[in-house]
Amino acid sequence: MSDVLFSSPAMAELFTPRAMVAAMLRVELALARALARADVIPADAADAIAAACRVELYDADAVFDESATAGTPVIPLVRMLTERVDTKARGWVHWGATSQDIIDTAMVLQMRAGIELLARELRGVAESAAALADRYRYAEMAGRTLGQHAAPITFGLKAARWLALTTRQIRALEALPSTALPLQFGGAVGTLAPFGDSGPLVAAHLAEELALPLPELPWHAERDRIATVAAALGVAAGAMSKIASDVALLAQTEIGEVAEGAQPGKGGSSAMPQKRNPVDAMSALAAARLAIGLVPTLMSGLAQEHERAIGAWQAEWVALPHVFRHTAGAVMHVRRSLAGLEVHHDRMRQNLSLAGGTLMAEALSVALAPRLGRTEAQSVVKSASERALREGIPLQRAALDDARISSILSADDVNRALNPSRYLGSADAFINRALASLPDPSRDAPHATARVEIDGLNIAYRVDGDVSNPALVLINSLGTDLRVWEPQADSLSQYFRVIRYDARGHGESDVPAEPATIDRLGADLVALLDHLNIERAHLCGLSLGGLTALWVAVYHADRVGRAVFANASARFGTTQSWDERMRAVRAGGMEAISETVVGRFFGAPFRAEHPDLTRFITDMVEATPVTGYLAACAAVRDADLRDVVSRIRAPSLVLAGELDQSAPLRQSEELHASISGSELVVLPGAAHLSNLEQAEEFTRLVTTFLRGL
């Protein structure tokens, strides 16, 4: 029941037995490759092992059933893996590793994915809190301390505090992959003795294969990193419980200042028809308690025996997944609660006048203090407040009736002092500070996590999603880097193993010395697939990325599953137009063309409505190395695939922007007509980077098509 009520479906799926087996196989595969790179085992043995490391070949339940006797799931898994490997390569399976290396590293991979998932969900909480903070920045309400009315605040400030709290959790979680989630690889007792003095080299290759930090030494029995992750999740869950508690209290019948959004079947009672319960807040509080309750189990695991623990390490196998599941549940339910939150400002105003408006007592004493001094002013106002409460009259009347007050303050002075809107201090400034700290997923997203040498250049790439999912390569447009796919990457990685990369001369990839060709750009993509041991992948290319995808679909048809050609053409522009652009870049750098380029990327209304995103893409274009940009321009200038795209047999989707000037609708229609059986969808109002202008619809169309739905 807990995975249904007190976890998120995505996080629950991430920590299933099948997902754990997939992660362990990913480590075994990477180990085989690392051993081959270090010349410890033959390359053909590594290939044989890699071919058998496919999760669909194994019964995860059987692996864990046997682990009850074996004491670890690695023992039955390695036996099953060995049985599937060619006889000549069997002796190299799991070479030099110990069970803890595989389990710990597999869990590190799962935790990394789990942290990314939590950070995404927390951004949803932050965005809702930010919207509430901005919309209700002037909505006065009672500030409450120790459960009692204290002084006025605004609901915007309360939401801004939720935002700041959530932002801190995002930052804390995003720091974990580099500080607390390194490779685990030490062999039997942490010496890597089977490799002689080559152990560090094998470890370095293994860390690179898995895109994990390389620790200074193995950490089998030193679990401070696990405790750090557990503590961070516990704090994040606790932070969500703070927000959920506020919502639940504000939704009480007697207060009635907020309510969770209504929807059929939500928040009812089996006995009381009138009930509208804050069920998301309730579920978040329950999930947070479950998560926090497991943190001590993981903290207690810091005391481990010698080189490998007996009991404490094994307890992590259960506690860690559940901490992730329940923290995700808390975050998910808070996100849902805030996303549909109904704010009743009229009730907030009514509640301000409860108790005769005595929550303005501090403001009145502050107005009197310059004449009476702080102590005397508080004493006088306390007397007036007690009378107001005792006799059930407004504080204003009690104040004007008191000669000690009326002799100093006029009726207008008293009214001003008792006006909640005049006693909000720096609330507006604090709201602005919180809004300024809102994480921008496109700016703050991690860039490349790994590199591979292709044709003498280091090509930067990033992989997200379960290794057992179908592979999908997202190919960038000219002048952008892999961050251009941020609006799609999170959603697509739920269904696919998503590979993004920076084309040569772009982003974090090396800059070529010579002009590129479309053949070279396509060959880079094929080499990346080879490096990742991916025989067949779906492709989704944008602009130049679409041209690259077309080339691969024509000349390497066996490597392509389904293909999406977005804002693409078999022939872009004319030789003259590209020569003119290249001359402008040589003369004035990227700044000379950035305004024009971004003006083609987005329509004018979109640029006006989204200045931050426009500036971000402009910065990306201007940061592209001149030599790298010119090399890619040469490839586009010289490419003409119009005579060969008819050879494409992969199921294809052509996505066109209605207002695209760089790949006009007419060219998309021609491309669609040339590719037998292809589909064409036009995105209304979109220009050239339709994945950003129409992000939600673009993602939906691509997901639906690639999944064959």
Is 465:538 a contact under the CB 8 Å cutoff?
no
Cα end-to-end distance, the chain, whole Å: 30
Q: Which of 54, 308, 416, 571 is catalytic?
A: 308
Indicate the SS3 state at residue 502: coil
Tokens of 414: 């008293």
User: Smallest Cα–Cα separation from 328: which of 293, 297, 283?
Assistant: 283
The strands making up 560-566's β-sheet, listed across from edge to edge, are 450-454, 457-464, 497-501, 471-475, 537-542, 560-566, 652-657, 679-683
Could you tell me the CA-to-CA distances from 177 to 10, 104, 173, 212, 216 in Å, in that order? 19, 14, 8, 8, 15
Q: At what angle do helices 279-300 and 224-250 cross, to 10 degrees?
A: 160
Could you tell me the CA-to-CA distances from 583 to 227, 307, 630, 632, 634 in Å, in that order? 57, 64, 9, 14, 12
- Over its C-alpha atoms, the chain yields an Rg (Å, rounded) of 30
The conformation of residue 337, written as its DSSP 8-state character, comes to: H
What count of residues does the chain have? 709
As a whole number of angstroms, the distance between CA 90 and CA 81 comes to 9
According to DSSP, the residues that pair with 560 across neighbouring strands are 537
Q: Which of 135, 178, 269, 379 is catalytic?
A: 269
Residue 223 identity: R
Is 579:637 a contact under the CB 8 Å cutoff?
yes
Alpha helices (runs of H) in 211-274, residue ranges in sequence order: 224-250
Angle at 693 between CA 692 and CA 695, to 5 degrees: 55
Is 543:663 a contact under the CB 8 Å cutoff?
yes
Residue 385 falls in the annotated catalytic set: no
User: What is the biggest distance separating any 2 CA atoms in the chain, rounded to whole angstroms?
Assistant: 102
As a whole number of angstroms, the distance between CA 190 and CA 210 comes to 20
Residue 308 falls in the annotated catalytic set: yes
Q: Write a three-state SS string for 474-501.
A: EECCCCCCHHHHHHHHHHHCCCCEEEEE
Indicate the SS3 state at residue 680: strand
Indicate the SS3 state at residue 543: coil
- Give the active site residues: 269, 308
